[in-house]
Structure 1
Amino acid sequence: MSDISFFSRVGNLFKGFMSLWIQDVEKEHPEIAYQNRIDAMVSKYAKLKDVTAAVLRRREDIDSCLNKQGEELKRVAADLEAAVATGQDDLAVVLIQKKEALEASIASLSVEFEQSRRDAEEAKSSLNSMKAEIAKLKDERDSMLAKLQSAQARIQIQDQLEGLSVEADVRALDNVREHINNTAARAKLGAELADSDLDNKLAQLRVSSGAISARATLEKLKEAQAAKAAGSKTL
């Protein structure tokens, strides 16, 4: 029992995986899913058509039999009247029995014919309904596939427009901008470091000292010239 239960569970699991796989395939290829459903309905329609044809044939056979027995009943009734009129009692008794049998058979066939007529109407109605369902499913298939193709085309256009977006080009220059800014910052840093360097400060100090010394010498020369000029005036 346990083995049977195990294999049954494995079988159910396999069926479940297959069902999920088929659903995924149908999602990726909806045209296949629709066509499979249409083919299945067409197959059922063909079988129902055969059944309907058989029902119609039975109705026609019963109707034909009723017509024949009705004609036979008319002849027996005429023969019975003739037998009674001519005093042929033995023949009249046989004809009466035959007439009663025909009437019973006709009554039974009439019931069967009515049932076969209803069966035929139901079968034709089912056949027409299934035919309409097939046509409806085909229309739905065409409409849904057209809708899917339209949506896919719109997605492709959107993807292409996104690929042509200016933002993408602007973002592509971000790295270039960052590199340029970093380079400028490094250059500025080098200049600041150069200004704060001790040797550079000393050189600047020496330049300043030289300028002060030269100015002092200039002042002395001016004073000497002024003194010389003043001595010349005194003489």
Structure 2
Amino acid sequence: MGFFARLGRLIRGFFSLFIGGLEEKNPKAMLEDLKNQLNAAKVRYNTTTANIIAREKVAAAKLKSAEKELEECRRLIQEAKRQNDRELALQLLIQEEHLEAAYNTALEAYNSIKAEADHARQEFENFQAEMFQKMSQIEQLKVQADLADLKKEMNTLRSNFATESGAGRINEGLKQAEELIQSKLAKEEAIAELGKNSIDSRMRSLKTSAAKSRAEEKLRALFGDEPAQTEEEGRVVKERTQN
């Protein structure tokens, strides 16, 4: 089993252990720790993948160099043939065999490391997709953990409020306040009622009525109205009219 497969299985198993133990410990702290573990795994994936790709590039450069040397040797062989230099051609043919063997070795090494690099790229893509899913699940669980904390706080407040020191104390305070207010209102109403029946109050009422009567007489005189009849005068006039 390759490094990436082992690391992937390790992370999946690690995540399962965390999810299974959420109810036993602080879930938010565990989720944050798991998030850090996944980020650390991502760094390892990045580093390992980069190293494998770097090896692929080195192998590709060696293969290209070996191919170039082999092609140059074969060009020289043709040149020696053109010049009819058999001794030089012989030496070049011997060198060609060594260069061809070196090229085949470089090609085999490149194909091997390329296959490993392609596999590493695919594994890295799979890990990124899985990590994105796990990170999304972590964020969802953190939201649920926050909601659980809020519900717990609400239940605590509700429980505290339902006690004698909570709602009972508030109800008792409201009752006392209501009694004080009613007592104060009754006292003020009694004072007002006594004020209405007092001599001073009656005297003020009489003076107000007399002042109003004088003002009405001045108003009639101002506008030339006929003097108002007294009650007795009105009765006499009425009797005369009837007779």
Report TM bin, short chain.
0.5 to 0.7
Aligned positions, number: 146
CA-CA distance at 1:160 after TM superposition: 5.1
Q: Distance in 2 between matches of 1:31 and 1:126?
A: 29
Q: 2:115 matched to 1:118?
A: yes
TM-score (norm 2): 0.51
1:143 aligns with 140
RMSD (CA atoms): 2.9
Alignment counterpart, residue 91 of structure 1, candidates 72, 88, 91: 88
2:102 aligns with 105
Alignment counterpart, residue 60 of structure 1, candidates 45, 57, 71: 57
1:30 aligns with 27
Q: Distance in 2 between matches of 1:49 and 1:24?
A: 29
Higher Rg of the two aligned structures: 1
Q: Is the 8 A contact 2:49 2:117 kept in 1?
A: yes
1:191 aligns with none
**Equivalent AA in structure 2 for residue 149 of structure 1:** D
**Equivalent AA in structure 2 for residue 42 of structure 1:** N
Report Cα offsets for 1:68-90 as digits up to 9, x if no partner. Answer: 22222222111101212322111
**Equivalent AA in structure 2 for residue 132 of structure 1:** A
Alignment counterpart, residue 128 of structure 1, candidates 125, 129, 152: 125
1:183-194 alignment, distance < 5 Å: none
Cα distance change on mapping 1:45 and 1:151 into 2, 3 Å: closer
Q: Distance in 1 between matches of 2:21 and 2:135?
A: 22
CA-CA distance at 1:99 after TM superposition: 1.2
Q: Is the 8 A contact 2:66 2:106 kept in 1?
A: no
More helix by percentage: 1
Q: Is the 8 A contact 2:27 2:145 kept in 1?
A: no
CA-CA distance at 1:32 after TM superposition: 1.6
2:48 aligns with 51
Report Cα offsets for 1:50-103 as digits up to 9, x if no partner. Answer: 222121111111111221222222221111012123221111111111111111
2:226 aligns with none
Q: Distance in 2 between matches of 1:71 and 1:133?
A: 43
**Equivalent AA in structure 1 for residue 52 of structure 2:** V
Q: Is the 8 A contact 1:59 1:117 kept in 2?
A: yes
Cα distance change on mapping 1:65 and 1:37 into 2, 3 Å: same
Unmatched 5+ stretches in structure 1: 1-22, 170-235
CA-CA distance at 1:27 after TM superposition: 3.5
TM-score (norm 1): 0.53
1:78 aligns with 75
Q: Distance in 1 between matches of 2:23 and 2:155?
A: 25
Cα distance change on mapping 1:39 and 1:156 into 2, 3 Å: closer
Cα distance change on mapping 1:146 and 1:44 into 2, 3 Å: closer
- The share of aligned pairs that are identical, in percent, is 15
CA-CA distance at 1:36 after TM superposition: 1.8
Q: Distance in 1 between matches of 2:127 and 2:146?
A: 28
